[in-house]
A and B are shown apart, each in its own frame.
Chain A
Amino acid sequence: MSRPGEWEGGSGWLTRLAEAEAGLPDEEAAARVIAASEPGSGRVLAALAATRAELAAVPPAPMPTAVAARLAAGFDAVDRADAAPGLMSGDSRRSDDFPLRRLRRRSGQVRRRPLLLTAAAAALVAAAVVGPSTGPDREAVDPASAAARVLAKGTLEVGGLRDPAALAACLARGGAAPARGPLLAGRPVVVGGRRGTLLVLGTGVLGRVRAVVPAEGCETVLADLTTGG
């Protein structure tokens, strides 16, 4: 906990009130400052609360698969440089890199690594290996494996369903549960001989995603599975 002398500046009642709202200099003193604050402070406190609420409502941002692929390629490049020092010019790494470099060279690990899976993609790939246990889509598109592919490619070809309101209305019309997380990927598919749109949705739980396929026109849902986590 900081002492008052450690505050940064502190001029102006607005800043003092905001700092008190943040619990400075300590909870007890902050409560006293707020209680003794000038008329109009209630409006400021409400504004700060509204601001916090808006910040907290910023949606989660899962790492795009393309970024994960870039990371994997970058780690591969480091491994290759470690295995063959001197091939890359301008190597400015510090001496504490050397133990890792020696170990990698000794073990000869220079093969390209598979796609470095984000939590969501890894969950779907796991589901794709097993496949859905039930449902009419077994003979056509496996929603889990299709979802893994669109997630891996970053495909988002869902037409008007990009619009959150249209997406919500479509799910509601098909009798599906509402989306609990962002739309991550999707594309048109055929499931059990019927056209639909595969939607890969976040769930708000790390590593868990939902693959849902509303039929064309949204009158029903052809598949709906949640996996991972």
Chain B
Amino acid sequence: MPLLDARSDLQLLEAHRSGERRAFDELVRRHGDRLWAVALRVLRDPEDAADVLQDALESAYRRAAGFRGEASVSTWLHRIVVNKCVDRIRYDRARPPSGYGHPHRVPVGRDPAEGATTRLAVLDALAHLPADQRIPVVLVDVMGYPVAEAAAILQVPVGTVKSRCARGRVRLAGLLGHLREEGA
């Protein structure tokens, strides 16, 4: 098996639609780490992220024929993952709290002297944001995607992404102690 495939994402998706079994594997190899990171940073719980990623990618695997080419394959895959994350967040919000993985039970602590603890505090704080702020903040500020790409993934105007990021940052600044007096 060649480990590197020179075909474009679109060519791979077309090959998958034509029945080539390994074409979709190559797409996952190319984009899987980033898709996983988005799901993990949005949902925080690795088990939830794994469930969502599997659900999303199996959906994409089955429904590749539904890809119309309005966005890039990468954007399309991210959109499916993000939509599944939103579904999961809504589901979690609707069910009674069970402990681990629920944002309102996550302690928000911070120890600036310890890097790992600081990072944990960032991830904890992210979990306190509403989904409509958390997802753009993850895409733009954590993953480093351009605002326009985040807007394409979320299918909202660029200004909406900027506004949601701005509001999320204000809230995070309070949670992380950078803006303690103002709160969030």
Q: A42 contacts which chain B residues (CB < 8 A)?
A: none
- Decide if A126 is an interface residue (CB 8 Å cutoff): yes
Of the candidates A8, A58, A126, the one whose C-beta lies within 8 Å of that of B119 is A58
- Other than the given A25-B159, A54-B118, 18 more pairs (CB < 8 A) read A2-B159, A6-B159, A6-B160, A7-B163, A8-B163, A14-B170, A21-B169, A24-B162, A47-B178, A54-B176, A58-B119, A68-B28, A74-B54, A96-B65, A96-B66, A100-B65, A113-B21, A119-B29
- Given A48-B173, A62-B36, the answer on whether A18 and B166 have CB atoms closer than 8 Å is yes
Of the candidates A2, A9, A51, A106, the one whose C-beta lies within 8 Å of that of B173 is A51
- Decide if A71 is an interface residue (CB 8 Å cutoff): yes
Output the nearest chain A residue to B65 by Cβ-Cβ distance.
Answer: A96
- Given A8-B163, A55-B137, the answer on whether A109 and B54 have CB atoms closer than 8 Å is no
- Decide if A206 is an interface residue (CB 8 Å cutoff): yes
Q: Please, how many angstroms separate the alpha-carbon atoms of A119 and B170 in the complex?
A: 36
- B21, B37, B66 interface centre (most CB from chain A within 10 Å): B21
Can you show 29 pairs from A to B with CB atoms below 8 A apart?
A6-B159, A7-B163, A8-B164, A14-B170, A24-B163, A47-B178, A48-B169, A54-B176, A61-B40, A61-B41, A63-B33, A67-B53, A68-B28, A70-B54, A74-B54, A75-B61, A78-B62, A96-B63, A96-B66, A97-B62, A100-B65, A103-B19, A104-B19, A107-B19, A109-B19, A109-B21, A116-B25, A119-B30, A164-B116
Q: A25 contacts which chain B residues (CB < 8 A)?
A: 159
Within 8 A of A (CB), among B136-184: 137, 141-142, 144, 157-160, 162-167, 169-170, 172-173, 176, 178-179, 182
Q: A109 contacts which chain B residues (CB < 8 A)?
A: 19, 21
- Decide if A44 is an interface residue (CB 8 Å cutoff): yes
Instruction: Output the least CB separation between A68 and chain B (Å).
Output: 7
Instruction: Output the least CB separation between B46 and chain A (Å).
Output: 8
Interface residues on B, range: 35 or more
Q: Give 9 nearest A-B pairs by CB, closest first.
A: A2-B159, A103-B19, A47-B178, A63-B36, A55-B141, A18-B166, A22-B166, A47-B179, A96-B65
